[in-house]
A and B are shown apart, each in its own frame.
Chain A
């Protein structure tokens, strides 16, 4: 399987994602510069975390205008698998590839901490390796991860089964205490209607080796590899 990993100026999870898919999982991977105009040949494109262009205006607001984003839109439109992590999720929302927006954390502080994510579906390209409702230990690291959408949109996401991960406590309950940033309905990750684009605030690439505290993030990458074949 071949991964393309986008780099905008200010991206910083690019090398972490590369290490994960290439070194840990032995897949093919390339870095894709933000000025590149084609994504041909990739099975999955990762939009990694960081502060693209500094995110001084609003997270992801400038990156959406990068040349590679048009190619990404076409790639997703043709059913290509896309994973936006952290800043990547913000970019996908800004670009209209996913609904909703990510606002400043409700407590107004940056948060780097471990979270538990309840897997809401296991029949997507991203979660076939998970058990039903499996709780994944994956960390967050962001200042603007507070997922927001209006009620109509949120209800539609729920009805369509587009909510893929929710912050939950040790018992799997998606309650306020387990919510690190004030996200609506404890949403940590969503997919598009077609089911080929995932955006999530937590960092699965940081939890793929037991040495680092958890390897639950691997389940997402291994699911992708299974589904591409």
Chain B
């Protein structure tokens, strides 16, 4: 039967790819087989365009316990016989179609990736991006996504400890919802997704299989789309209660020691779970889909194989231990069905009772074609990089109004109205929750804590993918270093437009190269990740958005540091800069340019060597007990960082002589976003020690002022009551969301 273009479009395969399949099989695939190819060769599962680039990432360090890509998530040794497992994943397209369920099932999916490593999920983070809140559709997406994360995450008892939210026109109709999960497991109990010995039994546990989410991987995640309503049936529906029970029952089943392999059913459902675990074990399998428990009668084999029904896991055990494993799931009232077995011959035999419905060599399915394209920067990108300070006027209304405006802007304003809807304390490990540079979670039974962050400045990446990629890594590690934690490893979620367009491929390639370069200089490997391409709507691609999640380690939780000024009379320093001299790169891609002037221009700059030195000094000073607070200078620059340090404990700030008398381009100095800078406060008796440390490490250091008084004071430029800056910052997001349009 000749295949039609309509059929190929539905599963997002090209004619050339179809021909390749026919060539490999030496026959035409039947519809079930073709559906399986479509799912596994999708960008989401097969990484057709991204895999050749991902090898640029350093993926090893003495602490890394997993081989990148070999398992569901990366595992990092934190000592004391413990490993931290973590990964970030996108659920962008489902969230664009149905924000509540899309975001909720995004959380559910990443939690099961962690569970598949045998780890207990101990934290969630999320990175969200939307179009500007002045559109009612964007507000609808925002509210739905937040509600979905709140609903699902709260019910499963995993704290949501950190995140980021940005708004930009490029995300209108194409929001980004990236969810990260972190798990903890004894190093010697890390589970494997590999299928194991032949003769082993495959058990499908969890939810009934329904018709939801068919073609989620190939249809939603691998194409751009315009008519969102059409795609509603491809969005999955979540059941967080079942997820919670699945977590407990799977961990209990793993405790028996009889589970030899475990794999979640995510994108492409049973097809990818079964085929990938067979591939990892270099085995084959026989599946009998008549044994799959179903939500509704009359489902075809095609539907069963490609359903993306949530809350399902595939377990592998030996025949003699099936009863032991089954007993655990019976205790928890979780359905557990024997659906197949592992065989030596590396073939997939999919049966429906007695009838064979697909028969394929495993490697044909898993070895998706790889495309190494040639990227080219758009002319527009090169033009945008031209920025001359003299072309940018000073903001009309002076420093104080500019500061209040930036503090209240949705990208900078407090996200409390969002994170107070997420349980960030359950499991009683949260030492520092959302709102700081990074979350800090103590590890029970040890003196240690882990620091967690998720970060990306996509405007920088848009203006210069290579430098932007470097800055993403630098900022994530800087956030960790501000708590005193040593950055150990990263996970990444690469959100880009259609890579078949040269300018998008260029963004993808050079962001990846930038990330890889910064990882090497800062000594952090990338241990897991996910790729989301084709993020476009109405012909417009999103900003290149390589989100990075960071894991850091504090050997002694007592030595952690927060971002807020803790008391009056502290001396405030800037680490990483020794004088104010305006440069055009200071304003490049800044919130000031975007918010006040409506521009996205310039070429951001970073010196990774300086970055490394600044972070090392910050950690060293914290470990020596010298530092009262440390806060990363990021969006909004120095003035915003200082204000954010004042607000939580209502501690004022008074600028010293250097900061009070600035050259005429105060916009660059106060609001420029020069990299590699940290605002730290110390007790006066520690100031000299800090100076000595900085001198020894050759790190620039500048005394900014002292904490105290009722106001936020920048010499003659600004003198604002703390309550006024607090009100702007704390209420900014809600006011933006309330604006009628």
Contacts and interface: CB of A to CB of B under 8 A. Distances in A.
Interface stretch (B19-27, B336-344, B358-366, B420-428): B420-428
B156 interface: yes
A99 interface: no
A53 to B, nearest CB: 7
Interface string B419-460: 111111111101100000000001010000000000000000
Given A110-B154, A113-B420, A211-B442, A15 B241 contact: no
Interface stretch (A6-14, A76-84, A148-156): A6-14
Contacts of A53: 241
Given A9-B332, A50-B157, A110 B150 contact: yes
A205 interface: yes
Interface string B106-150: 000000000000000000000000000000000000000000001
Given A10-B244, A53-B241, A205 B421 contact: no
Interface string A192-229: 00000000000101100101100000000000000000
A181 to B, nearest CB: 12
B660 interface: no
Nearest to B242: A54
Interface in A77-135: 109-113
A182 interface: no
Interface residues of B, number: 29
A141 B157 CA distance: 11
A60 interface: no
Contacts of A167: none
A110 B421 contact: yes
Given A10-B155, A54-B155, A54-B241, A15 B427 contact: yes
A16 interface: yes
Given A110-B154, A143-B154, A206 B425 contact: yes
B557 interface: yes
Given A9-B332, A9-B333, A212-B431, A51 B241 contact: yes
A139 interface: yes
Nearest to A111: B420
Interface string A12-31: 11011001100100000000
A48 B75 CA distance: 32
Interface string A42-78: 0000000111011110000000000000000000000
Interface in A151-185: none
B239 interface: yes
B245 A212 contact: no
B210 to A, nearest CB: 17
Contact of A112 (B156, B420, B557): B420
**Binding site secondary structure of chain A:** mixed
A12 B427 CA distance: 8
Interface string B142-170: 00000000110011110000000000000
A12 B444 CA distance: 17
Contacts of A54: 155, 239-242
A72 B544 CA distance: 57
Contact of B431 (A23, A50, A139, A211): A211
A139 B424 CA distance: 11
B425 A141 contact: yes
A12 B442 CA distance: 18
Given A16-B426, A54-B241, A111 B421 contact: yes
A203 B157 CA distance: 14
A50 B245 CA distance: 12
Nearest to B557: A211
Given A10-B244, A109-B421, A111-B421, A16 B332 contact: no
B348 to A, nearest CB: 34
A51 B557 contact: no
Nearest to A139: B425
Contacts of B423: 110, 112, 141
Nearest to B151: A110
B155 A19 contact: no
A101 to B, nearest CB: 20
Interface in B399-435: 419-428, 430-431
Given A19-B428, A203-B425, A12 B420 contact: no
Contacts of A139: 425
B157 A212 contact: no
Contacts of A49: 426
Interface string B245-269: 1000000000000000000000000
Nearest to B248: A9
A112 B155 contact: no
A141 B155 contact: no
Interface string B315-340: 00000000000000000110000000
Contacts of B332: 9
A205 B156 contact: no
A127 to B, nearest CB: 22
Contacts of A109: 150, 421
Nearest to A143: B154
Nearest to B153: A110
A112 B422 CA distance: 6
A12 B428 contact: no
B472 to A, nearest CB: 29
A36 to B, nearest CB: 12
A108 to B, nearest CB: 10
B157 to A, nearest CB: 3
Interface in B665-681: none
Contacts of B239: 54
A51 B427 contact: no
A124 B220 CA distance: 59
A9 B431 CA distance: 28
A172 to B, nearest CB: 20
B556 to A, nearest CB: 12
A56 to B, nearest CB: 7
A10 B247 CA distance: 10
Nearest to B434: A112
B426 A10 contact: no
A112 B426 CA distance: 10
A129 to B, nearest CB: 20
A12 B155 CA distance: 8
Contacts of B150: 109-110
Contacts of A15: 427
A143 B154 CA distance: 9
A205 B430 CA distance: 13
Nearest to B444: A19
A143 B557 CA distance: 31
Nearest to A15: B427
Contacts of B428: 16, 19-20, 205-206, 209, 212
A158 to B, nearest CB: 30
Interface string B369-391: 00000000000000000000000
Contacts of A143: 154
B327 to A, nearest CB: 14
Nearest to B430: A212
A12 B557 contact: no
A51 B442 CA distance: 25
B244 A112 contact: no
B514 to A, nearest CB: 36
Interface string B285-297: 0000000000000
A114 to B, nearest CB: 9
Contacts of A212: 425, 428, 430-431
Contacts of A55: 155, 241
Contacts of B426: 12-13, 16, 49, 141, 206
Given A19-B428, A51-B241, 13 more contacts: A9-B244, A10-B241, A19-B444, A54-B241, A109-B421, A110-B421, A111-B420, A112-B419, A141-B154, A141-B423, A206-B425, A209-B428, A212-B430
8 contacts: A9-B244, A10-B244, A13-B157, A55-B155, A109-B150, A109-B421, A112-B421, A141-B423
Interface of A: 9-10, 12-13, 15-16, 19-20, 23, 49-51, 53-56, 109-113, 139, 141, 143, 203, 205-206, 209, 211-212
